[in-house]
Amino acid sequence: MEKDIEKAGQRAEKLRKLINYHRILYHSFGAPEISDQALDSLKNELQELENKFPGLIKKTSPTQTVGAKPLESFPKARHEIRMLSFNDAFSEKEMADWKERLKNFLKVSFEDFEYYCELKIDGLAIELIYENGVLKHGSTRGNGWVGEDVTQNLLTVKDIPQKIEALGSWPVPKKLTVRGEVFLTKKEFERINKDLLSGKEKLYANPRNLAAGSLRQLDPSITASRKLSSFQYDIVEGLPKNLKTHEDRHKVLVSFGFNVNPHNRKKTGLPEVFKFRDFWAKHREELEYEIDGMVVIVNNSHIFDQGGVVGKAPRGAVAYKFSPSEATTILKDIKIQVGRTGNLTPVAVLEPVELTGITIQRATLHNFDQIKKLDLKIGDTVMISRAGDVIPQITGVLKELRSGKEKSFVIPKKCPIDGSKVVNQGMVWRCSNKNCGARNRRALSHFVSKSAFDIEGLGGKILDRFLEEGLISNPADIFLLKEPEIASLERFGKKSAANIIGEIQRKKKISLERFIYSLGILHVGEETARTVAGAISGRKPRVSDLAGILSKWSFEKLQTLPDIGPKVAESIFDWFHDKKNLELLTELEKAGIKLTTDNLQQTTKGKLSGKTFVFTGEMEKMTRDEAKEKVRQLGAEVSESVSQKTSYIVFGENPGSKLNKANKLGVKTLSEKEFLSLVS
Please list the residue range(s) of the chain that carry CATH number 3.40.50.10190.
Answer: 612-679
Confidence at residue 1, expressed as pLDDT on a 0 to 100 scale: 67
Count of other CB atoms within 10 angstroms of residue 617 = 17
CA dihedral angle for residue 171, residue 177, residue 183, residue 185, rounded to 10 degrees: 0
Position 287, amino acid: L
Over residues 667-678, the mean pLDDT reads 91
Position 619, amino acid: M
Please list the residue range(s) of the chain that carry CATH number 2.40.50.140.
Answer: 326-430
Name the least confident of 197-201, 603-607, 642-646: 603-607
Confidence at residue 274, expressed as pLDDT on a 0 to 100 scale: 96
Question: Which residues have a Cβ under 8 Å from the Cβ of 449 and sit 6 or more positions away?
Answer: 459, 518
**pLDDT at residue 67 is higher than 60:** no
**pLDDT at residue 450 is higher than 60:** yes
**pLDDT at residue 479 is higher than 80:** yes
Confidence at residue 648, expressed as pLDDT on a 0 to 100 scale: 93
**pLDDT at residue 60 is higher than 80:** no
Count of other CB atoms within 10 angstroms of residue 251 = 14
The reply to whether 557 belongs to the active site is no
Q: Give, rounded to a whole angstrom, the gap between the first and last alpha carbons of the chain.
A: 71
**pLDDT at residue 190 is higher than 80:** yes
Please state the φ and ψ torsions of residue 214, each to the nearest 5 degrees. Answer: -70, -40
* 331, 117 contact by CB (below 8 A): no
612-679 adopts what CATH topology? Answer: Rossmann fold (3.40.50)
Confidence at residue 152, expressed as pLDDT on a 0 to 100 scale: 93
Over residues 10-15, the mean pLDDT reads 87
Residue 125: strand pairing partners: 181
Select from 3.30.470.30, 3.40.190.10, 3.40.50.11610, 3.30.460.10 the CATH code of 76-321.
3.30.470.30
What distance in Å separates the CA atoms of residue 591 and residue 322, rounded to the nearest whole number?
Answer: 28
Confidence at residue 116, expressed as pLDDT on a 0 to 100 scale: 98
Q: How far is CA 620 from the centre of its chain?
A: 48
Confidence at residue 602, expressed as pLDDT on a 0 to 100 scale: 54
What distance in Å separates the CA atoms of residue 316 and residue 103, rounded to the nearest whole number?
Answer: 10
Q: How far is CA 578 from the centre of its chain?
A: 32
Confidence at residue 228, expressed as pLDDT on a 0 to 100 scale: 94
Q: What is the CA radius of gyration of the chain?
A: 34
**Angle (CA) 117 266 300, round 5°:** 90
Name the least confident of 203-207, 210-214, 412-416, 429-433: 203-207
Assign domain 509-596 to a CATH class: mainly alpha
Task: Give the pLDDT band (50/70/90) at residue 28.
Answer: low
**pLDDT at residue 447 is higher than 90:** yes
Distances (CA, A) of 635 to 525, 605, 624, 628, 651: 21, 5, 17, 11, 20
What distance in Å separates the CA atoms of residue 424 and residue 389, rounded to the nearest whole number?
Answer: 32
* 24, 68 contact by CB (below 8 A): yes
Over residues 14-28, the mean pLDDT reads 79
Position 418, amino acid: D
Please state the φ and ψ torsions of residue 407, each to the nearest 5 degrees. Answer: -115, 135
Q: Which residue has the higher pLDDT, 525 or 342?
A: 525
C-alpha closest to that of 313 among 555, 71, 63, 73: 63
Confidence at residue 598, expressed as pLDDT on a 0 to 100 scale: 66
What distance in Å separates the CA atoms of residue 17 and residue 32, rounded to the nearest whole number?
Answer: 15
Question: What pLDDT, in 10s, does the model give residues 203-258?
Answer: 877 888 888 888 988 888 888 888 999 999 999 999 888 899 999 999 999 999 99
Note the CATH number of domain 2-56.
1.10.287.610
**pLDDT at residue 475 is higher than 80:** yes
What distance in Å separates the CA atoms of residue 206 and residue 437, rounded to the nearest whole number?
Answer: 44
Task: Give the pLDDT band (50/70/90) at residue 491.
Answer: confident
C-alpha closest to that of 246 among 230, 235, 259, 262: 235
From 14, 43, 99, 120, active-site residue:
120
Name the least confident of 246-260, 304-318, 412-426: 412-426
The DSSP code for 174 is S
What distance in Å separates the CA atoms of residue 40 and residue 444, rounded to the nearest whole number?
Answer: 40
What distance in Å separates the CA atoms of residue 43 and residue 19, rounded to the nearest whole number?
Answer: 7
* 184, 228 contact by CB (below 8 A): yes
* 174, 130 contact by CB (below 8 A): no
Assign domain 326-430 to a CATH class: mainly beta
Question: To the nearest whole percent, how much of the chain has pLDDT over 90?
Answer: 43
Task: Give the pLDDT band (50/70/90) at residue 481.
Answer: very high
**pLDDT at residue 376 is higher than 90:** yes
**pLDDT at residue 660 is higher than 90:** no
* 156, 203 contact by CB (below 8 A): no
Q: Which residue has the higher pLDDT, 468 or 592?
A: 592
Name the least confident of 39-48, 337-346, 377-386: 337-346
What distance in Å separates the CA atoms of residue 446 and residue 604, rounded to the nearest whole number?
Answer: 31
- Return the top range by mean pLDDT from 114-128, 335-349, 606-620: 114-128
Question: What pLDDT, in 10s, does the model give residues 93-105?
Answer: 999 999 999 999 9
Question: What pLDDT, in 10s, does the model give residues 556-571?
Answer: 889 888 878 888 899 8
What distance in Å separates the CA atoms of residue 312 and residue 125, rounded to the nearest whole number?
Answer: 15
Cross-sheet strand order for the sheet of 291-298: 88-89, 317-321, 291-298, 114-121, 265-268
Three-state secondary structure call for residue 549: helix
**pLDDT at residue 442 is higher than 90:** no
Confidence at residue 29, expressed as pLDDT on a 0 to 100 scale: 66
Over residues 493-504, the mean pLDDT reads 91
